A and B are shown apart, each in its own frame.
Chain A
Amino acid sequence: MKIVRAGFLSSIQDEGRIGYRKIGLSPGGAADGDALRLANACLGQSGESALEMGLVGAALEVRHKSVLVHMGAGMRASIDGWPWPSGKVVAVPPGVTVTFDTAERGVWAYLAVAGGFAVPEMLASQSTDLRTAFGGMGGRAVRAGDELPTRFDLGDKAYRHWARHGRPVHAVPGLYEATWSLSSTVCLSLQTTSDSLLSDHFSVDETHTGEKSVDAARELRFLRGPEWDIFSQAERIGWLRQRFLVSADSNRIGLRLQGQPLCLPHGRDMRSNPVVPGTVQISGDGQPMVLLADCQTVGGYPRIAHVCTADLGRAAQCRPGTSVRFREISRATAASLLQERQRMFHQVQWAVRSKYARGE
């Protein structure tokens, strides 16, 4: 696929580079790992890399027959003018142009392709490490003119398969759409398994997904961090009660929040110690920062909390100006949320596979 227009920040990402902290590398990978996993699940695959696009998407020229789906921030997209909703798998012929517009509900959208992108694996991952500048497409965001390699043998096979089971889109010759779709709001609001996810038509009604409105404060569930205790009770209550606004200088490294500043305890010599995506640090100005995929392996600010892993994707999808509040949960709850999430990915993946194996 050739990049015609790169968008705001588009890069190849997979589920991250696990196990390299000792050489200073954070896992990185998709900012919203849930959206990436769901996109892959829609194609009946798992663990493949996708093109991550932030806020404003890319435009791509399709070179070979491919099967594609996009998922995440509800990005408006079209294929040669045909409006392409997120969560809808399509089989596309060579020569068409896929155009992504602006994100409507979140920040990060994922364009997944059957068979994945064929960029070389470096240190066990295809992810672009933008900070250490390697992996993906030469360690950088994609640029206009880049040729994103795909496995066109697999693409061709997948195209024939999905075209046979899909519906032709008459406006674009050679384009087929699946007879079902997975709503993108599902992955923005993945809180519990939605039964309708596995309904006959595979369609998910947006009203079933629990996200009331884009403007409603997004709740991030957390566990206490190692430095929770160093804040006074009043500070902790303030932290729990207030709503923070997502600042515009948030990025893949972290979500910067703004609110009533927390008073930092004096006279504590903080030295750099481990942090992970999800760790909430209170920086020098008393404002929280929720670390995301590209965070460092160590940080020198008090770690007041950790956003539970199940809510990391939702945190990453918070647009600047979104209001955010924190709610404490137990470790057992955090674990069961993750188990449930995992089950859902398997269900979608399994359902897609079995649906097509039945030869409908």
Chain B
Amino acid sequence: MTSVDVSHSCRWQGQIVCMRAFGDTGVLLQFANPAKNDAERARELLEMAYQVECRADVSWQDVSLGYDEVLVIYNPVQTSLGTVCRGLCQALAEEKGRPTPRRALWDIPVRYGGVDGPDLEEVARCLEMDVDEVVRRHTEPTYLVRFLGFIGGFPYLDGLPASLAVPRRATPRVAVPAGSVGIGGEQTGIYPHATPGGWQLIGRTDWQLFDANRIPPALLSAGDLVRFHAVERGTSVAVHPPKRRSVTQPASGECDADADVGDGI
């Protein structure tokens, strides 16, 4: 018994992409042989997702991203699974003007500890290092935004040093303030707005990660890079982050998917 038949498969950059039906409204795309290395896996999935988005057909309602899969959602009243799969194969087959994702690098100012990071001392105790060391290790890496989820604008970040992994709080907070930077297990992230949450809060930024009235509403995009830097309490930090800058130049292929990820803030 196979759960969901592979409806189609096609080639993309020498790799086999399998397409499976997902409920009655979606097609799930996975690599038949994903890269062993997680960073490489992330890169290939992000690039494939980007090409799907750029070549999206009007009958595809949405594209969603996870750690290992890309989901394309369609309206089954308007189109069929077969049509969507064929369209996807065509979209992935196009070699000419293959778009390169535009990645931005964000240097996010964070006030660590104190009222902004009420769990910092507890985290340091738990990891048996001093508070400054936790901050130093947290500000060291360049994190990769794998995708946004949980709530609007919340980044799933790759790159937390293993030495900073701490269990979640035994009792989740009823309201985590907007901009809080936390660690939960092996993940780190930023809460875009006040919400219940169980992560250990180590700091806070004034940058607005999500604002439905802004274009684009979410500051970060999948594929972006993030660094944190520590700022002193009382330092005035612009609530409005700087304009988006690409660290990778858009190649020949421009993409509609970038239309709403432009420079307007």
Residues of chain A whose beta carbon lies under 8 Å from any beta carbon of chain B: 18-25, 27, 122-123, 129, 131-135, 139, 223-229, 233, 271-274, 276, 278-279, 296-298, 306, 308-309, 331, 334-335, 338-339, 342
A115 to B77, CA, bound (A): 25
What CA separation (Å) do A18 and B22 show in the bound complex? Answer: 17
Q: A122-B212, A123-B217, A135-B212 are in contact. Are A22 and B64 (CB under 8 A)?
A: yes
Which of A19, A135, A223, A274 is the one whose CB lies under 8 Å from B21?
A: A223
Q: Which residue from chain A places its CB closest to the CB of B53 in the assembled complex?
A: A22
Which of B24, B68, B156, B210 has the largest count of A CB atoms less than 10 A from its CB?
A: B24
- B1: chain A residues at CB < 8 Å are 229, 233
As a 0/1 sequence over residues 168 to 210 of chain B, the CB contacts with chain A under 8 angstroms (1 = contact) are 0000000000000000000000001111000000000000001
Residues 105-139 of B contacting A (Cβ, < 8 Å): none
Q: Tell me if B69 counts as interface (CB < 8 A to partner A).
A: yes
> If A19-B61, A276-B26 touch, does A131 touch B67 (CB 8 Å cutoff)?
no
> Are A342 and B217 in contact, CB atoms less than 8 angstroms apart?
no
Report Cα–Cα, A135/B217, bound state, in Å: 13
Separation of A54 and B18 alpha carbons in the complex (Å): 41
For the complex, would chain B's binding face be called helix, strand, loop or mixed by DSSP majority? loop
Q: Is the Cβ of B69 less than 8 Å from the Cβ of A278? A: no
Task: Give complex CA distance A225, B3 in Å.
Answer: 7
Q: What A residues does B24 contact at CB under 8 A? A: 223, 306, 308-309, 331, 334-335, 338
CB-CB contacts below 8 Å: B51-103 with A: 53, 61-71, 73, 76-77, 80-81
B77 touches A342 (CB 8 A): yes
Q: 18 A-B pairs, CB-CB below 8 angstroms?
A: A20-B152, A21-B62, A21-B65, A22-B65, A23-B148, A24-B153, A24-B218, A132-B210, A132-B212, A223-B4, A226-B3, A233-B1, A271-B66, A274-B70, A276-B22, A297-B64, A309-B24, A338-B76
A306-B23 contact, Cβ under 8 Å, with A25-B152, A132-B193, A227-B3: yes
| Given A22-B222, A223-B23, A335-B76, CB of A122 within 8 Å of CB of B153 | no
Query: Closest CB of chain B to A69's CB: distance in Å?
Result: 24
Bin the interface of chain B by size.
Answer: 35 or more
Q: Is the CB of B67 within 8 A of A296?
A: no
B185 smallest CB distance to A (angstroms): 11
Q: Is the beta-carbon distance between A225 and B25 smaller than 8 angstroms? A: no
Q: Are B68 and A276 in contact (CB under 8 A)?
A: no
Residues of chain B within 8 A (CB-CB) of A272 are: 66-67, 149, 156
A229 CA / B3 CA spacing, docked (Å): 5
Q: Tell me if B66 and A229 are in contact (CB < 8 A).
A: no
Tell me if B28 is interfacial: C-beta within 8 Å of chain A: yes
Name the B residues within 8 Å of A227 (CB-CB): 3
Q: Are A273 and B68 in contact (CB under 8 A)?
A: yes
Closest to A23 in B: B218
Set B2, B73, B195, B218: member contacting A276, Cβ < 8 A: B73
Taking each of B22, B65, B218, B222, which has the highest tally of chain A beta carbons within 10 Å of its own beta carbon? B22
Q: How far is the CB of A253 from chain B (nearest CB, A)?
A: 11
